[in-house]
């Protein structure tokens, strides 16, 4: 481990329509967003309220586009059962998944923007899936999810982060510096939004691991950074990416 983690990204594009065959420009715009959001270089980072200024964090991991693989399909939607990752089901198998982050761009359906595999799963299905309507900044990206933050959120999961509300009413995300949220937040919440969970904290609705609009999410926390760092250290589930 040389101290700086740079993750090669393979983008697997499955397309039926021209809009689904997203351009290299749109793909690079997504890589650029990941590099900003994971290095506290996003222009809205300074919108983090003073209440959370002490815990906002620069994750310090960068991404580089390794290759784009394209395949045409007759499927109109792929669902969330990993079919897009399997050649036998018309998909594209991941490339070097123990050393490269594989992203699939394909229409998912069912109102799903994207989904991710947590660390520790099978390498044959490892990576993140993003619908082309929410991929990157230009081309087919659709407001209010057109700032590339679906991938920021999904890569957060891929790096072991949980939803900030812990997928339960007043649940835990296993991170101590993020407040307890009642549930997922949507849209652009007014600040401050108080939780009714124990201690009635102000919710960190601007965290990437909530469900708000792309324009309303712009920070990770120090606790989330530590949780991410742990999986890239020796013995961690993603140590093979930190060589
Ligand atoms: N897995 C979530 C979904 O499909 C992603 C939410 C991403 N949120 C965002 N603002 N881009 O609904
Ligand atoms: Zn999620
Ligand atoms: Ca927490």
Instruction: Tell me which residue of 97, 95, 96, 35 sits closest to 70, measured CA to CA.
Output: 95
Rounded to 10°, the helix 149-158/24-37 angle is: 60
Ligand 1, atom 9, lies closest to the CA of: 150
Tokens 């949980």, located at residue: 162
In this predicted structure, which of 13-17, 51-55, 135-139 has the lowest mean pLDDT? Answer: 135-139
The answer, yes or no, to whether any atom of ligand 1 lies below 6 A from the CB of 30, is: no
Two structure tokens written together for 130 = 């993003």
pLDDT band at 19 (very low <50, low <70, confident <90, very high): very high
Ligand (nearest to CA of 141) = 1
ipTM of the shown complex: 0.94
Give strand pairing partners of 202: 194
Is 20 a known active-site residue?
Answer: no
pLDDT reading at 243 higher than 80: no
pLDDT tens by residue, 43-82: 999 999 999 999 999 999 999 999 999 999 999 999 999 9
pLDDT tens by residue, 107-132: 999 999 999 999 999 999 999 999 99
């Amino acid at each position: 481990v040389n101290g700086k983690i740079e993750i090669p990204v393979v983008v697997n594009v499955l397309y039926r329509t021209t809009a689904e065959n997203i351009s290299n420009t749109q793909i690079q715009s997504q890589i650029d967003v990941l590099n900003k959001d994971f290095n506290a270089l996003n222009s809205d980072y300074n919108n983090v309220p003073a209440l959370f200024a002490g815990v906002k964090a620069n994750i310090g991991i960068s991404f580089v586009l390794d290759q784009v693989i394209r395949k045409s399909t007759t499927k109109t939607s792929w669902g969330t059962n990993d079919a897009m990752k399997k050649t036998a089901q018309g998909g594209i198998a991941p490339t070097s998944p123990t050393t490269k982050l594989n992203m699939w761009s394909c229409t998912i359906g069912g109102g799903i923007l994207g989904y991710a595999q947590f660390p520790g799963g099978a390498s044959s299905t490892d990576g993140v899936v993003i619908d082309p309507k929410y991929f990157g900044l230009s081309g087919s990206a659709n407001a209010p999810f057109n700032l590339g933050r679906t991938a920021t959120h999904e890569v957060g999961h891929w790096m072991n982060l949980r939803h900030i509300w812990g997928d339960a009413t007043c649940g835990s995300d296993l991170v101590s510096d993020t407040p307890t949220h009642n549930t997922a937040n949507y849209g652009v919440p007014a600040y401050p939004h108080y939780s009714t969970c124990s201690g009635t904290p102000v919710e960190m609705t601007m965290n990437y691991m909530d469900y708000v609009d792309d324009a309303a999410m712009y920070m990770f926390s120090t606790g989330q950074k530590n949780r991410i760092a742990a999986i890239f250290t020796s013995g961690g589930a993603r140590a093979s990416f930190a060589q």
